[in-house]
Amino acid sequence: MSRNFRHWPLHQKVVLMPAHHLRVGKYTLSGTEDFFDPAFAIQHNDGNLTSVLYYVSHNTKNIDSNVTQTTVVMKDDVYPLEVKLCYISYVKENIIKTWTEIVHQEKKPVTINRYASSMLYFEAPKYYLTEFSGDWAKEVNMSNQQLQFGKKIIDSKLGSRAAMYAQPFFQLGLGQPVQEGQGTVMLGTIGWTGNFQFTFEIDNASNLRVISGINPFLSNYELKPNEVFTTPEFIFTISEEGTGKASRNFHSWARDYQLKDGKGDRLTLLNNWEATYFGFDEPKLEELMKDAKNLGVDMFLLDDGWFANKYPRNSDKQGLGDWDVTKEKLPNGVPHLVKAAKDAGVKFGIWIEPEMVNPKSELFEKHPEWAIHLPNRERYYYRNQLVLDLSNPKVQDYVFEVVDKLMIENPEIAFFKWDCNSPITNVYSFYLKDKQNNLYVDHVRGVYNVFKRVNEKYPNIPMMLCSGGGGRCDYEALKYFTEFWCSDNTDPIERIFIQWGFSQFFPSKAMDAHVTSWNSRTSVKFRTDVAFMCKLGFDIRLNEMKEDDLKYCQNAVANYNRLKKVILDGDLYRLVSPYESNHMSVMHVSPAKDKAVLYAYDVYPRYSEKLYPVKLQGLDPAKMYKVEEINLMPNQNSGLKANGKVFSGDFLMKAGLDVFTTRQANSRIIEITAQ
Ligand code: GLA
């Protein structure tokens, strides 16, 4: 023990950015003189549990005029161990992406017990944390707390996704609680589609340490000599103008640098999941394809239930793993469906969940050892399925081939919805044998190998990331996916909160929102207007819709197509929070400030509640703008006093518009056009 308490040189400190609260980036070690949570911990071949890293060198290179990469090299003076701290900074967006690379040349593998992506060190009089928590169908609930001495940990242990109970991002208010329009805030998120951990610790000097990385839970990782352990990327920004600005930083960075096809267009769609569940056949799908065309969307998306023959996928209890089309249900196969969609005049997309297996499947009968499960205990199932062991390269090949075979047979498939419904429930890999500690990490790396291969071969195909709702919502997976499914909960009232929450980090074009029958006490218009602020889709029986509702939807889709550029690529201003009022309002503004879309939702106003005008943001004060309410029901007159009138940007931002009402679940979409 005494060895751990000897005085060692100070840990290396790295100056990161000139934000005045962020003092230094550190990479603290364990077992020496720092008595707080470490960023790094190791066990060497001789059993020694310490490492002291000394600065060796650093270099900075410009990737382009906006992007710079800095690498700091540190070495242990006693053991052949090197740790590199890597930073990519995006100047215009004020975003830093940071990760760590660890390598050693000891004779045998070492065990790394902690391997954070980053540690940041803040100095402020007070620290406030906003966290995002929830569960299936109630994602991203935002709550705030002041941090006090000691530790607060946000983490997940789900294995095959980052999120369910906690989302992999957070906000910090430095000196004061996080606010939308003012104050110093930091927004951070980890790009890791697996177990993550954020540790917030206020130390003896009242400074705050934020350690971000893979959750080391059950993952004392065995690292071979010369193998580079690259941690996931931790991505953050600091804003002196509150979270609004910080979110816009994230959105433009994501569109320009991180999202698959970040600058490209997105397809509106009609999905059949809630319209049919597993109960469909060819004629029914053909009907829906025609409905999609009639609605005006770009694509028909076929969901779960189209595959497996020995155990046809007629429920979620069987068939996962057997990716041959169910002959009885769809005798002419996927090619026929692709053609039928084409004949109807829409594109064709398809749902897959290739990383999972139902024990009742031919795949499991043939390869039980491909599934992660315990050989000597009763199995526990989540949604009747098991997770395939992606640490095994053969399983990676198999998963890749699910997509590859579909694409080879049907080159005109235009979209994939890639689902992943089960967390890892019985953690044991038949492939890794005595290296079980590497499973959580190697599994996720295997998932990325597959994502990479798919994207290398099919770089232009848009894909939706889905995980029993919004379980996969991280910026590493989004390198390979154009968008993600925010939640299975499409009740528009709930969606207002969910979309508000995800918008803190993700641009609208990455957030899929569908109009469904959830909370059908609200109008179709309200449900559609709520989905309108994200990437719009429909998952509803159009043939049962009232004529006026259908007409309204067709008109809304046409408006959406016309305004897509602003909605998907504009700057987002969050104007009125549903957490602080009975309403919600946000707006998108085009970069040229010549077009904006304003969204106003009355959630549950009180009787005779006093209503205040909403002050717009992001416009040009000197420009004149015409205000027009759109997405009206057939024969509905706009009740908006300002409708059809022209105002200066200055007026709209200082005096605002009366957009709210005291009607429950009421909405207004307002188009604002520079004259
Ligand atoms: C998950 C998804 C749904 C749907 C079903 C199909 O729950 O979130 O949208 O695709 O799987 O089984």
User: What CATH number is attached to the domain comprising 599?
Assistant: 2.60.40.1180
Q: What is the pLDDT at residue 25? A: 53
In order, the DSSP letters of 181-241 are SSBEEEEEEEE-SS-EEEEEEE-TTS-EEEEEEE--TT--EEE-TT--EEPPEEEEEEESB
In a domain, 635, yes or no: yes
**Average pLDDT for the chain:** 95
Task: Give the atom of ligand 1 at the shortest distance from the alpha carbon of 485.
Answer: 8
**What HEC string does 297-364 produce?**
CCEEEECCCCECCCCCCCCCCCCCCCCCECCCCCCCHHHHHHHHHHHHCCEEEEEECCCEECCCCHHH
Q: Is pLDDT above 60 for 620?
A: yes
Measured in Å, residue 419 CA sits from the centre of ligand 1 at: 7
Question: What average pLDDT does range 446-463 have in this prediction?
Answer: 98
Q: Is pLDDT above 60 for 74?
A: yes
Q: Is pLDDT above 50 for 361?
A: yes
pLDDT, tens digit, 9 for 90 and up, residues 40-49? 999 999 999 9
* Spatial contact of 16 and 24, defined as CB atoms under 8 Å apart: yes
Of the residues 209, 228, 258, which one is the last residue of a structural domain?
A: 258
Question: What average pLDDT does range 390-408 have in this prediction?
Answer: 98
Measured in Å, residue 373 CA sits from the centre of ligand 1 at: 23
At 524, which CATH number? 3.20.20.70
Question: What average pLDDT does range 302-315 have in this prediction?
Answer: 98
Of the residues 258, 280, 313, which one is the last residue of a structural domain?
A: 258
Residues 443 and 554 in one domain: yes
In order, the DSSP letters of 449-462 are HHHHHHHHH-TT--
Question: What average pLDDT does range 408-413 have in this prediction?
Answer: 98
- Of 269, 273, 463, best ligand 1 pocket probe by most atoms within 8 Å of the beta carbon: 273
Task: Give the atom of ligand 1 at the shortest distance from the alpha carbon of 351.
Answer: 10
Indicate the pairing of strand 666-674 with strand 67-76. Answer: unpaired
Residues 435 and 580 in one domain: no
Decide which of 18 and 320 is more confident.
320
At 219, which CATH number? 2.70.98.60
Question: Which pLDDT band holds residue 29 (cuts at 50, 70, 90)?
Answer: confident
In a domain, 263, yes or no: no
Residues 251 and 294 in one domain: no
Q: What is the pLDDT at residue 6? A: 28
Measured in Å, residue 649 CA sits from the centre of ligand 1 at: 43
In order, the DSSP letters of 532-583 are TTSEEEE-S-GGGS-HHHHHHHHHHHHHHHHHHHHHHHSEEEEEE-TTTSSE
Q: Is pLDDT above 60 for 18?
A: no
Measured in Å, residue 468 CA sits from the centre of ligand 1 at: 6
Residues 351 and 489 in one domain: yes
Question: Which pLDDT band holds residue 26 (cuts at 50, 70, 90)?
Answer: low
Taking CA atoms only, the protein residue closest to ligand 1 atom 6 is 304
Residues 418 and 297 in one domain: yes
Task: Give the atom of ligand 1 at the shortest distance from the alpha carbon of 417.
Answer: 10
Residues 397 and 447 in one domain: yes
Question: What average pLDDT does range 178-188 have in this prediction?
Answer: 97
Question: What average pLDDT does range 193-221 have in this prediction?
Answer: 97
In a domain, 593, yes or no: yes
Q: Is pLDDT above 50 for 482?
A: yes
Taking CA atoms only, the protein residue closest to ligand 1 atom 9 is 488
Q: Is pLDDT above 90 for 10?
A: no
- Of 280, 313, 488, 489, best ligand 1 pocket probe by most atoms within 8 Å of the beta carbon: 488
Measured in Å, residue 271 CA sits from the centre of ligand 1 at: 11
Taking CA atoms only, the protein residue closest to ligand 1 atom 7 is 468
Question: Which pLDDT band holds residue 504 (cuts at 50, 70, 90)?
Answer: very high
Question: What average pLDDT does range 144-166 have in this prediction?
Answer: 98
In a domain, 30, yes or no: yes
Q: Is pLDDT above 70 for 578?
A: yes
Measured in Å, residue 569 CA sits from the centre of ligand 1 at: 27
Measured in Å, residue 450 CA sits from the centre of ligand 1 at: 21
Task: Give the atom of ligand 1 at the shortest distance from the alpha carbon of 488.
Answer: 8
Residues 478 and 552 in one domain: yes
Taking CA atoms only, the protein residue closest to ligand 1 atom 1 is 468
Q: Is residue 296 exposed (0-12), middle (13-18) or buried (19+ Cβ within 10 Å)?
A: middle
Cβ < 6 Å from ligand 1: which residues?
273, 303-304, 316, 351, 419, 421, 466, 468-469, 485, 488
Question: What average pLDDT does range 185-195 have in this prediction?
Answer: 98
Residues 161 and 285 in one domain: no
Residues with Cβ within 8 Å of 535's Cβ and at least 6 positions away in sequence, in order, are 266, 268, 483, 508, 509, 510, 511, 512, 513, 568
Compute the residue count for the chain: 675
In a domain, 206, yes or no: yes
In a domain, 305, yes or no: yes
Measured in Å, residue 356 CA sits from the centre of ligand 1 at: 13
Q: Is pLDDT above 50 for 170?
A: yes
Distance, in Å, from the CA atom of 339 to the CA atom of 323, rounded to the nearest integer, reads: 20
pTM for this model (two decimals): 0.96
Residues 78 and 189 in one domain: yes
- Specify the DSSP element, H or E, that contains 417: strand 413-418
Residue 418 is classified by DSSP as E
Distance, in Å, from the CA atom of 119 to the CA atom of 24, rounded to the nearest integer, reads: 9
Distance, in Å, from the CA atom of 358 to the CA atom of 386, rounded to the nearest integer, reads: 6
Measured in Å, residue 161 CA sits from the centre of ligand 1 at: 15
Q: Is pLDDT above 60 for 207?
A: yes
In a domain, 264, yes or no: no
Q: Is pLDDT above 70 for 313?
A: yes
In a domain, 173, yes or no: yes
Residues 638 and 658 in one domain: yes
Q: What is the pLDDT at residue 413? A: 98
- Of 269, 316, 351, 486, best ligand 1 pocket probe by most atoms within 8 Å of the beta carbon: 351
Residues with Cβ within 8 Å of 549's Cβ and at least 6 positions away in sequence, in order, are 523, 524, 525
pLDDT, tens digit, 9 for 90 and up, residues 347-360? 999 999 999 999 99
Q: Is pLDDT above 50 for 9?
A: no
Residues 293 and 418 in one domain: yes
Taking CA atoms only, the protein residue closest to ligand 1 atom 2 is 468
Distance, in Å, from the CA atom of 219 to the CA atom of 111, rounded to the nearest integer, reads: 9
Task: Give the atom of ligand 1 at the shortest distance from the alpha carbon of 539.
Answer: 9
* Spatial contact of 45 and 106, defined as CB atoms under 8 Å apart: yes
Measured in Å, residue 242 CA sits from the centre of ligand 1 at: 35
Residue-range definition of the domain harbouring residue 393 = 269-568
Residues 75 and 207 in one domain: yes
- Of 304, 464, 483, 490, best ligand 1 pocket probe by most atoms within 8 Å of the beta carbon: 304
Tokens of 55: 């600065």
Of the residues 225, 258, 291, which one is the last residue of a structural domain?
A: 258
Tokens of 524: 């179709």
Q: Domains in the chain: how many in total?
A: 3
Task: Give the atom of ligand 1 at the shortest distance from the alpha carbon of 469.
Answer: 8
Taking CA atoms only, the protein residue closest to ligand 1 atom 11 is 468
Distance, in Å, from the CA atom of 494 to the CA atom of 137, rounded to the nearest integer, reads: 9
pLDDT, tens digit, 9 for 90 and up, residues 582-593? 999 999 999 999
Question: What average pLDDT does range 400-418 have in this prediction?
Answer: 98
